[in-house]
């Protein structure tokens, strides 16, 4: 029987089998190399190359112009703001459902909706917000006609820092809900009860037990949300039409038509983006691994 042959002969043929087995991963390796790793390496290496191929730091150094610095800075600010708000609101909503004593049936639909909303980004999302908070948007008109509040007079402009941040929340909050809900589930009821019977109030329990336990997840998810917002370009373009100079839009324009007058600067811009999102994601992965070890 073939299965018996497999069982009795593994040790002897293990050596000769190893390379053959790894060959089975060749298609995947080829795909990943050609369409993921090589393109990224091309960018990273190109960031340190002059047009004639020699090594240089000049490209990265040239990032240090006011307009590029401003682009990165506003990207960072939008990403931090949308990540912070996304974390806060997402946490509140998730806590409401998991710990707030709400009926059980709310949880499923909330998670499903979060799955949908976290994928509803890009151009259609921008349209939705334009139709709501834009100059003739539903909420804008409502506030002006019914409550006498003129958003424009108050300085609010959808095509700006706050406008983009509020729009980004539409996929940031659901992402937070999706990630933090399992973490909140992991808060065992017995911990709360043990704390209570030892004399702790609710606030003391949260301060001394629950928040420290959740902290890696919270911080990690913040990092993830930050990276998510930083790399988003479609929504921003659709909303601001490339007028708001955030880093991805700058890169987009540069790829399209070399607006910066130096092709290798594009590489440096992209490289800068990879570094920032790479660090943020690295923080997320490290913190997630740490919190999983604790909660075994």
Per-residue x/- marks for another protein, 72-101, CB under 8 A?
-----------------x--xx-xxx-xxx
H helices of 24-122, in order, are 26-32, 38-46, 58-61, 66-98, 107-119
Cβ atoms of 165 and 222 closer than 8 Å: no
Among residues 10, 50, 61, 115, the one that binds another protein under rule CB under 8 A? 115
Q: Is 210 helix (H, G, I), strand (E, B) or coil?
A: helix
How far is residue 124's CA from residue 155's CA, in Å, rounded to a whole number?
25
Site residues (CB under 8 A) for another protein, limited to 205-224? 208-209, 212-213
How far is residue 270's CA from residue 71's CA, in Å, rounded to a whole number?
13
Q: Is 87 helix (H, G, I), strand (E, B) or coil?
A: helix
Residue with token string 């949308």: 82
Query: Cβ 262 to another protein, closest distance in Å?
Result: 14
- Does 293 help bind another protein (rule: CB under 8 A)? yes
Site residues (CB under 8 A) for another protein, limited to 184-203? 188, 190-191, 193-201
How far is residue 88's CA from residue 101's CA, in Å, rounded to a whole number?
19
Cβ atoms of 237 and 243 closer than 8 Å: no
**Interface with another protein by CB under 8 A: which range of 56-64, 67-75, 124-132, 145-153?**
124-132
- Does 15 help bind another protein (rule: CB under 8 A)? no
Site residues (CB under 8 A) for another protein, limited to 22-41? 22, 24-25, 27-28, 31-32, 34-40
- Does 49 help bind another protein (rule: CB under 8 A)? no
Among residues 60, 244, 266, 287, the one that binds another protein under rule CB under 8 A? 266
Cβ atoms of 95 and 184 closer than 8 Å: yes
Query: Cβ 153 to another protein, closest distance in Å?
Result: 20
Query: Cβ 180 to another protein, closest distance in Å?
Result: 13
Site residues (CB under 8 A) for another protein, limited to 125-164? 125-133, 137-139
Select 61 or 106, whichever has its Cβ closest to another protein. Answer: 106
Query: Cβ 64 to another protein, closest distance in Å?
Result: 20
- Does 178 help bind another protein (rule: CB under 8 A)? no
- Does 245 help bind another protein (rule: CB under 8 A)? no
The DSSP result for 254-293, as a single string, is HHHH-TTS-HHHHHHHHHHHHHHHHHHHHHHHHHHHHHHH
């Amino acid at each position: 029987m073939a299965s018996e042959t497999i069982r009795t002969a593994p040790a002897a043929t293990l050596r000769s089998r190893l390379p053959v087995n790894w060959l089975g991963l060749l298609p995947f390796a080829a795909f990943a190399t050609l369409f993921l790793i090589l393109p990224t390496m091309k960018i990273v290496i190109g960031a340190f190359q002059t047009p004639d191929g020699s090594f240089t730091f000049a490209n990265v150094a040239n990032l240090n112009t006011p307009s590029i610095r401003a682009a990165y800075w506003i990207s960072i600010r939008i990403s931090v703001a949308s990540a912070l708000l996304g974390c806060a609101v997402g946490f509140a909503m998730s806590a409401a459902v998991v710990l707030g004593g709400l009926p059980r049936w709310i949880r499923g639909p909330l998670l499903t909706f979060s799955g949908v909303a976290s994928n509803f980004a890009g151009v259609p999302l921008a349209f939705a917000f334009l139709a709501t908070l834009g100059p003739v948007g539903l909420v804008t008109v409502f506030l002006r006609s019914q409550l006498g509040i003129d958003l424009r007079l108050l300085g609010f402009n959808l095509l700006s820092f706050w406008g983009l941040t509020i729009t980004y929340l539409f996929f940031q909050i659901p992402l937070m809900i999706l990630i933090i809900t399992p973490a909140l589930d992991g808060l065992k009821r017995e911990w709360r009860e043990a704390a209570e019977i030892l004399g702790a109030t609710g606030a003391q329990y949260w301060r001394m037990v629950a928040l420290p336990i959740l902290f890696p997840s919270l911080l990690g998810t913040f990092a993830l949300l930050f990276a998510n917002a930083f790399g988003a370009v479609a929504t921003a373009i659709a909303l601001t039409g490339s007028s708001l100079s955030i880093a991805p839009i700058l890169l987009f324009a540069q790829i399209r038509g070399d607006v910066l007058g130096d092709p290798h600067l594009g590489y440096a811009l992209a490289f800068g983006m990879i570094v920032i999102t790479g660090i943020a994601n690295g923080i997320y992965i490290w913190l997630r691994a740490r919190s999983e070890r604790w909660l075994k």
